[in-house]
Structure 1
Amino acid sequence: MRLILFGAPGAGKGSQAEILSQTLHIPHISTGDIFRDHITKCSDIGNTIKKYIKQGLLVPDELTINILRSRILEDNCKDGFILDGFPRTNQQAEALDRMLHLENLKIDKVVNIHLEDDKIVERLLGRLTCSSCNSIYHVKYNKPLKDGICDTCGSVLVKRDDDTEATIMNRLKVYHSQTEQVLTYYRSKNMVIDIESCIDIHDTTKALFSVLNLL
Structure 2
Amino acid sequence: MVKDLIILGAPGAGKGTLSADLCPLLKIKHISTGDLLREVVESGSALGQEIGGYIKTGALVPDEVIGRMIKEQLNTAECRNGVLLDGFPRTPPQAEMLENILADLQRRITAVFFLNIEQEQVVNRLIHRVSCRKCGKPYHLINLPPKKSGICDDCGGDLIQREDDREETIRKRFATFLEKTQPLIDFYDRKKLLLPINAGNNPQETLRIALADLEALLNNIK
Give TM-score, length-normalised by structure 2: 0.72
Query: In the alignment, which residue of structure 1 is the partner of 2:202?
Result: 200
Which amino acid is the alignment partner of residue 93 of structure 1? A
1:80-126 CA distance string (max 9 Å, x none): 11111221111110111111111111011111111011221232333
Supply the distance in 2 between the matched residues of 1:172 and 1:50 (Cα, whole angstroms): 27
How big is the shift at 1:179?
A: 1.2
1:100-158 CA distance string (max 9 Å, x none): 11111101111111101122123233335799xx99753323457897468xxx9x998
Supply the distance in 1 between the matched residues of 2:111 and 2:153 (Cα, whole angstroms): 35
Supply the distance in 2 between the matched residues of 1:97 and 1:25 (Cα, whole angstroms): 22
- Between the two proteins, what is the percent identity of the paired residues? 33
Conserved in 2, the CA contact under 8 Å of 1:129 and 1:158? Answer: yes
Query: In the alignment, which residue of structure 1 is the partner of 2:46?
Result: none
> Quick check: 1:211 aligned with 2:213?
yes
Q: Show structure 1 runs of 5+ residues with no match.
A: 53-57
The equivalences for 1:172-183 within 5 A come to: 172-183=174-185
Which amino acid is the alignment partner of residue 48 of structure 1? I
Would you say how many aligned residue pairs link Structure 1 and Structure 2?
203
Supply the distance in 2 between the matched residues of 1:46 and 1:184 (Cα, whole angstroms): 34
Conserved in 1, the CA contact under 8 Å of 2:111 and 2:195? Answer: yes
Larger Rg, first or second structure (1 or 2): 2
Instruction: Find 2:186's aligned residue among 184, 194, 198.
Output: 184
Give TM-score, length-normalised by structure 1: 0.74
Runs of 4+ in 1 over 4 A off after TM superposition: 35-41, 49-52, 128-131, 134-137, 142-147, 156-161
Q: Show structure 2 runs of 5+ residues with no match.
A: 44-48, 217-222
Query: In the alignment, which residue of structure 1 is the partner of 2:72?
Result: 70
How big is the shift at 1:18?
A: 1.1
Conserved in 1, the CA contact under 8 Å of 2:67 and 2:101? Answer: no
Instruction: Find 1:45's aligned residue among 42, 46, 52.
Output: 52
Instruction: Find 2:100's aligned residue among 92, 98, 101.
Output: 98
Supply the distance in 2 between the matched residues of 1:166 and 1:46 (Cα, whole angstroms): 33
